[in-house]
Amino acid sequence: MALEGVDVSHNNGRVNWLRVRRAGISFAYIKATEGLTFSDPACSTNLAGCRAAGVAPGLYHFYHHDADVQQQAAHFLRVVGKPQPGDLPPALDVEAPGDGSGTVSYAAVEVVRRLGEFVQTLERAVGRAPAIYTYPSAWKELTANSSVFADTCPLWIASYATTPTLVGGWSDYTFWQYSDHGTVDGIPTDVDRDRLHGDDAMLDALRDRSLAVGGMALLNQDGNVRTAPGLGGHIIKALTKGTGVVIVDGPRVVKDRDWWKVDDGEGTVGWSSSKVLSTA
């Protein structure tokens, strides 16, 4: 069964995310940034509201073709910070110049190269490639229907027909924006409506699984708990593969590796390497 979602910005007014969740919305993409300097004033409020209501959130950047790629990526990453457990992958909104994305004075191959630079920067920073939002006419006009990103980036396609039109070598879509004039209880304006091409298991697979304080983790192999972060800390106890722990502090970086303070619930509290920990 496909899951329903929305995408929002400050233009949608003050959203009551609890009512949105009760209306059957499972996920939401939230505008974070645009171009080099714009930060959506409702981003942090919408993000907190989604997390509190149990709506899976993702953040997106509206890309400008006539602005420096690295500066745009840095602006987005500075505003959104590190993804939290449960967040969806970030998204890159790629639209035609006529929709406010700036002029394009270079060839399609250069458009693709620049988009690739943005994608790679985000992937290095957050550990996974962003989804790409676009629509058929824009993707064909801008990239000559390039298939470069089909194997790495989930497709978020805007297509308002009965079934979505795919582009760029993608064999399937992940998200489908099927209406730009939808209505949802809890949102005071018309709103973009989206649909996940999958069920709860697919949504769960898309959500971030990073370690975080307060979260659960499992030992993915036998591992030591130490008195201090780093291999210089004395070993308190060796835990076996499959042991569940709660993360209570961290991360502390020692020699390019994250260390987390863990509690096994049986009196062992100390530091373990991220190498032996996976999210539960």
| Domain-wise residue ranges, the chain | 3-206, 216-279
The CATH code belonging to domain 3-206 is 3.20.20.80
Whether the model clears a pTM of 0.75, i.e. scores above it, the answer is yes
User: Is 66 or 2 the better-scoring residue by pLDDT?
Assistant: 66
What are the tokens at 2? Answer: 């496909």
Per-residue pLDDT, averaged over 242-255, amounts to: 90
CA-CA distance, 177 to 165, in Å (whole number)?
Answer: 11
Q: Which residues of 111-139 are buried (b: 16+ CB within 10 A; e: fewer)?
A: bbebbbebbebbbebbebbbbbbbbbebb
172: pLDDT strictly greater than 70 = yes
What is the percent of the chain where pLDDT is above 70?
Answer: 99
Classified by CATH at the fold level, domain 216-279 comes out as: SH3 type barrels. (2.30.30)
Per-residue pLDDT, averaged over 121-137, amounts to: 94
Neighbouring C-alpha atoms within 13 Å toward the C-beta of 167: 24
The rounded mean pLDDT for the chain is: 94
Handedness of CA 254, 258, 233, 213 (dihedral sign): positive
pLDDT band, very low/low/confident/very high, at 165 (cuts 50, 70, 90): very high
CA-CA distance, 44 to 253, in Å (whole number)?
Answer: 27
The alpha-helical segments, DSSP class H, found in 127-226 are 136-143, 200-206
Say how many Å lie between the first and final Cα of the chain, rounded: 25
> Which of 64-78, 210-224, 251-265 has the largest mean confidence?
64-78
Output the pLDDT for position 89.
95
Per-residue pLDDT, averaged over 160-184, amounts to: 96
The region of weakest confidence among 110-119, 135-144, 208-217, 253-262 is 208-217
174 with 196: CB under 8 angstroms?
Answer: yes
The region of weakest confidence among 6-15, 74-83, 109-118 is 74-83
204: pLDDT strictly greater than 90 = no
What is the percent of the chain where pLDDT is above 90?
Answer: 84
142 with 96: CB under 8 angstroms?
Answer: yes
User: Which 8-state DSSP code applies to residue 7?
Assistant: E
Q: What pLDDT, in 10s, does the model give residues 11-68?
A: 999 999 999 999 999 999 999 999 999 999 999 999 999 998 999 999 999 999 999 9
CA-CA distance, 194 to 227, in Å (whole number)?
Answer: 48
1: pLDDT strictly greater than 80 = no
